[in-house]
Structure 1
Amino acid sequence: MAKIDLIVRRAKLDGKEVDIFVSRGRIESVKKSVKSLDAGDARVEEAFGLTAMASMTDVHVHLREPGYEYKEDVESGLRAAAWGGFSNIMCMANTKPVNDTASVTELMLEKARLHWPKGPRLFPIGALTKGLSGKELAPMAELAKAGCAAFSNDGVPVKSSKIFLRAVEYASDWDRVVIDHCEDPYLGVATGINEGEVSSRLGLPAQPDVAEAMQVSRDILLAEYLDIPIHLAHISCRKSVDLIRFAKERGVKITAETTPHYLTMTEDYLEAEETEYDTNAKVNPPLRPEADRLAVIEALNDGTLDCLATDHAPHAAHEKEVEFDVAPCGITGLDTALSVTWQLVRDGVLTQETFTRAWTTAPCSIFNLPVNRFEPGDPADFFLFDEGEEWTVSPQTLYSRGKNTPLLGTVLKGRVKTHFIAGKKIV
């Protein structure tokens, strides 16, 4: 038996009280707890019955550095990730300058090593096209070698199907997946509100759900034609879900994510009592009606949607405290995602199997990232979770620099108490 470095005692895992043994940063074994134990030279952490959960992976985060550090930076974003239960973070390329050169990628990685040397691990997403302009491919070989784990044009969809097709082909040469923000570039781009009853009442320009579904259709057809995987970001509506389900039935290599806010919020969140509308609920794609929310939940449970991601998009308070049409889109989510989605498990809305797949195994499988299944040899990435602790979402309780969430003032249940990555205690 390998030398044990860490023993976490009396943790609750899958309803049983267990001791978790860690050796050289990896799970050595998980055994039923015993009253007395010879720990030898190992460090012992008492869980006192807290729930042990495998660390989660977020494949869609905006850390804003370089260029927009007043919104968020690598240090503060990874702090929120650490306390939010995430061991792997993939950050988008819409920085300033854009992450379309190795120097920007290397800067991000160096900041992560400087501030969080034990993790969470940072995996930059390289720009698909130079400057996110959609006109010329970014130097993907250079970016892949520098450490980019995937490629995306983020919130600026590539209009040219020919350029997008070439980008998917080139990315696959480096064993990287393209992530696409599905939005028709001519149908109400980034209006932040769904076209329907709420937008009519508020008198705001809006975007129909077909704007997302049309781009989903294009990507499905290209993935099928190329026989190369494409990953679809933040799916929000039934039309898209139906298309993805049909594609998977045909064996198309398509994967897709959704976010906690599309599982738990509808367009009604935009109608704040005091101000007529709440810019903290302005997000792209927009929050949809209840029928879409239910369709997305069903699709996540049945595997049509593979995984969850936060689309963590922090903004400064002064940027959101403006007229709706000029406020930026985005909701901050690293701090709240675990509590929000675990509540769905408690309520029977999501199965525990769906939760584990969506936050751990599926995203790691899609993007070839380290994952803990609590099996021998797995990376010892896990946290101790107090399922019963209630906390109020406020600027003071959020670790992220971004406080822009419609959940401000909401009482949530469940909080990370201790987090280990590769067997090292990070918080």
Structure 2
Amino acid sequence: MIQCLSMKNKCIYFKYIQGGIHLKIAMLGWGTVARSLMDQLKQHPDAVIQTAAILIRKPHPRTCPEMTYDYAAILDNPEIDVIVEMIPGAEAAWNYCSQAMQAGKSVVTSNKAMVSAYFSQLLALAEKYKVQFRYDACVAGGIPWLRTLTALKQTDPLLSIEGIFNGTTNYILDHMERDRLSLAEGIAQAQQLGYAEADPSADLEGEDLARKLMISAGCAFGVLLHRDQFAVQGLQGLCAQDIEAFLAKDKRCRLISALKQGSSGMQAGIEPVLLPFNAPLAQIRDNLNAGVLRTANLGELTLIGQGAGGPPTAHAVLTDLLEILNDHPVSPLTLQETNLCENPEAVRYYIGTQAETAGLFAELIQEIRRSGGRTQLWTVPTANNRLKALIAQARAQDPQLFAARIEEEAR
């Protein structure tokens, strides 16, 4: 028996199996997330979602019958309803997903690089071809972050979002503090546990977070952020002496993404922040993620959980698939260009650098110490743009300079 379900004027056919409908999908890629998704699909005894094909690239061997090298055959198969894209990189993924939508197939993806680079084009294609485009797995893994933003803004204007959205760097920061590790040791430990890639630069330099902030901005505020519009500072230059200096001041370092809609405009950025021990985000340990959103009426809401790795990300992908299976429409989203403004508030920074470079901050130094050849500065409150300009100038002289904004009080 076959039933046709309407989805934005498109009919997708589901076969009844033991009294329930099922959805046929094709997976693109066979990495950690794809294998975890397959494991989770097998846990459904009624087999409501079936994998009809798995696209792999040569020379990867065909180790299961669903595997294929032929994407054209996947697109031509009328029984395949949804393409689940889980490959690395943006360009190839974009080509696959755009072709899928043009062929009338919905797309579910966990690829933040692709979504952040082609966000508006993907939304336009989904609208044009009347298919669903879902990407909840792109940010915060198993935490329902994007779907929460999308749902809340329907009834309560969002004012700001911030949080810890990279489990790799949070694990490194947490264990540099707890186990007195160097940055290199923290990276190696995260790699051994499978939290960090062989090349962890996208995490350490904040580019992974930049992509997630761009996607979050679209869901929260309907704006199209471009990468060159906001500054990103990762953990480059951080050393054990810096961590000891933070602890001596009862501060804990976390890499924070923030987006705020203020009276003078929107502000966005990613940088290390020194938090008081009792600050909520300072309590986030190991590889957990935490997202904080503030609304006009509800106030503050925090979501905490596993933000990366195969099982949490696959869970988000599976949730998106079930939304399609149950014919739940996607909330319409249109992205508008926006201009960002600088934070006008006076801020304080910690700066760890060479003695020669420290002289650039001579007029702003509140406290100065030296440890293991490291000069450690704590500045007085200063206009944000002035401090950032000085930090950029100093970093040109000392590439290993580390700067972190100081948050004075727990909120």
**Higher alpha-carbon Rg:** 2
Question: TM-score under structure 1 normalisation?
Answer: 0.30
TM-score, normalized by length of structure 2? Answer: 0.31
